Amino acid sequence: MARNPRYDILFEPVRIGPVVARNRFYAVPHAAGMTNSMPHMRAKFRETKAEGGWGVVCSGYVSIDPSSDDAPLPFATLWDEDDIRSHALMTEAVHRHGALAGIELWHGGGSVMNRSSRIPPLSPSGTSWMATHVNFMGNQRPQAMDTRDIRALLTWQAEAARKARSAGFDIVYVYAGMGYLPYEFLLSDWNQRTDAYGGSVRNRVRIVQELLEVTRAAVGDRCAVALRISLEELRSRPSDAAPSQAHEVVELLAEVPDLWDVKLDSSPTDCAPSRFAPEGSHEPIIEFVRKLTRKPVVGVGRFTSPDTMVGQIKRGVLDLIGAARPSIADPFLPRKIDEGREQDIRECIGCNICISSWHDSVPVRCTQNPTIGEEWRRGWHPERIAPAGTTASVLVVGAGPAGLECALSLGRRGYEVTVAEAADEIGGRLRFETRLPGLAGWGRVLDWRRGQLERLPNVNIYRGNRLTADDILGLGNTHVVIATGSRWARLLYSALEIPVGSLEGPDVFTPDDIADGARIEGPVVVYDFDNYYMGSALAEHLARLGQAVSYVTPAGHASAWAIMSNEQPQVHRALFAAGVALHTLSRVTGFEGGEVALAKQFTGASTRLACKSLVIVGARVANDSLHTALSARSQELATIQSVTRIGDALAPGAIVHAVYSGHRYARELDADPAALSYRRDAPLGRERATVMPGFAANEDLEKLP
């Protein structure tokens, strides 16, 4: 199909200093869990975006010196020759498809703990980031930088820029955002210096200008120099010389970089989940930058709609459409727009599972795109899949996330697929969950697969068909896939942090009961030890219906795991706004007489809460009775070669796990067993010593005996 002419503007080339991007699609720097320890995985992951039409493809954050060590989070390095060769794999792969390669040079300053290198961190005035959540806590505090440290920082940046040029990068970054070292100089909370680098905004911006200058001197006229900067906090602060300190900073540096990459300050706002922020949510903060500089500006906003992208360009907000999460969900987003296939875009749902993978220190995952991170190690491509290995027919029982992904991928391979769904509508758990506050966008998981399946003549979906073992045995399919999901259990939670002891009763409910239309009377207690989104979303939902709701959890925060997906701060705000009473570090131990009994998780101290309806959001168990029934009749299977469980029917988990499970089954059906294991990546180069900075000559050191 031909491209829609109204999107032509997105495919105009853009000059960035000495280089030219072939279009306005810019895959911004973002962590992906694939560092120098996985160079081939990293290269193939970024190459897939270039193949998919992105004009610029950037690395994740790359440390310029051992004094910037983010372990155990998966950060990359550019410290030596082996690192250059490792990154060159990526630039060569990206260049093969005509895209520019960008590198985000990074120093974490007082926001890192240097747990691995054990070098004292650096910050402008010795100030550190002291996070309130255990995942990001540390007990190593930074040293205040003196003039020698500032000179060293400039040297490290210049050396890393030269290495980046040698590795083949086209765009080299100075990173002054997200609480990292150059940003720390910009913000007065971090920077209490009284020398030329502190005090006024002009002084505080000095280090950023010098970093840009040494970067330009290092790369010459071969590479563009980009500035990535966070503007949210600076935008909120008054200035005597401009509408805000953010305006003043941009005015002072307006023409210094070749590219402005503008963003917000913290991960929960910069990469806000769709549950709490719409597409284009950055615009109110960053819209002024384009008015103050003649250099191109790139920004993000979880853009998936080409019309929204065009609007950003035409209204003078951005010159380049930046993306991290949308480029993960669909690396081929630009090409699909270029080919007039907008309906085929696999839109990001903003669940932030990709971000949680970085917090977990593993390669990136995606609810929408199960091939992400598997491009090299499993050979999976987001748009290509091997043809069917046989003429087998496949019956998929269940049309939830796992079943739909399995059927779609099998159908694309060419198998004859029948899907039997017991309910009148497909979607499984999504039918209910997308009706909860903020989760409507997750319906894209269902909508995209439904749209793709409707075009496959070899896939037939039968709704309202609850199959028994006898039914399946009589259908004569070659393979049977059980994708019947899971159900929430009425289990409680022990001091050993294990689900135990079923609690039954007419006023004890689970999310399944609410989904089925159960009448919930207040006051309500939502007891959440699942720790993801369901408990808090249900509490907010019931409060919006006018019920008095208390939220109880044995964890220290509401939706405790959601710190991994950037949701937790907003969850607390949403519960507060809805009037939900919060009880943390508490277990429900009983329910009778209109009260629930609580015990404090660590002390055992008891309290009671008024309660008419108790909603337990804890453990889930697989709906595997159909699989059990078929397994018991193995001698009657006749032509059925395999019966396999996938998704929640095998092991209950998040939607991302269900989709991946369904996709993996479809990829591996009839495959050579020898090809089913994945390749293990390894760093390039040999073990080497890294020269560590010594103590200052004027320090008093005790002589060891």
Exposure letters 626-657 (e unless 16+ CB within 10 A, then b): bbeebeeeeeeeeebeebbbbbbbbebbbbbb
Cα 664 versus chain centre, distance: 21
First to last CA, the chain: 79
Own/partner contacts of 380-386, CB < 8 Å, gap of 24 or more, are: 380/667, 381/48, 382/48, 382/52, 382/330, 382/331, 382/332, 382/346, 383/52, 383/332, 385/409, 385/412, 385/413, 385/666, 385/667, 386/413, 386/667, 386/671
568-577 helix and 533-544 helix, angle to the nearest 10 degrees: 20
CA angle 566, 570, 576 (to 5 degrees): 155
* Two tokens, residue 480: 């049977």
Check: CB of residue 490 under 8 Å from CB of residue 504: yes
Active site residue 183: no
Q: Contact at 8 Å (CB) between 282 and 300?
A: yes
Please name the helix (run of DSSP H) or strand (run of DSSP E) that holds residue 369, with its range, or none.
none
Residue partners of 496: CB distance under 8 A and separation at least 6: none
- Torsion angle, alpha carbons of 164, 169, 171, 176, to 10: -40
Identity of residue 183: Y
Q: Which strand (E) or helix (H) includes residue 343?
A: none
Structure tokens at 448: 């995209």
The answer to whether the beta carbons of residues 368 and 443 sit under 8 Å apart is no
Tokens of 394: 């496949």
CA 26, chain centre distance (Å): 18
User: At a CB cut-off of 8 Å and minimum separation 6, what does 208 contact?
Assistant: 174, 176, 182, 185, 186, 227, 229, 249, 253
Closest to 391 (Cα-Cα) out of 423, 366, 367, 414: 414
CA distance 320 to 26: 6
82 burial via Cβ count (<10 Å: 0-12, 13-18, 19+): middle
Choosing from 26, 175, 180, 533, the catalytic residue is 180
Is there a contact between 128 and 83 (Cβ–Cβ < 8 Å)? no
Give the relative orientation of helices 81-95 and 147-166 as an angle to the nearest 10 degrees: 50
Q: Dihedral (C-alpha) 404, 406, 408, 411: value to the nearest 10 degrees? A: -140
Tell me 240's DSSP state: S
Nearest to 266 by CA among 76, 151, 146, 131: 131
Nearest to 168 by CA among 235, 86, 75, 92: 92
Identify whether the C-beta of residue 482 lies closer than 8 Å to the C-beta of residue 645: yes
Please report which helix (H) or strand (E) contains residue 206, including its range.
helix 206-219
Give the pairing type, strands 479-482 and 393-397. parallel
Distance CA 39, CA 34 (A): 7
Largest Cα separation within the chain, whole Å, is 86
Give yes or no for a contact between 255 and 240, defined as CB atoms under 8 angstroms apart: no
CA torsion sign for 40, 350, 54, 27 is negative
Residues serving a catalytic function are: 180
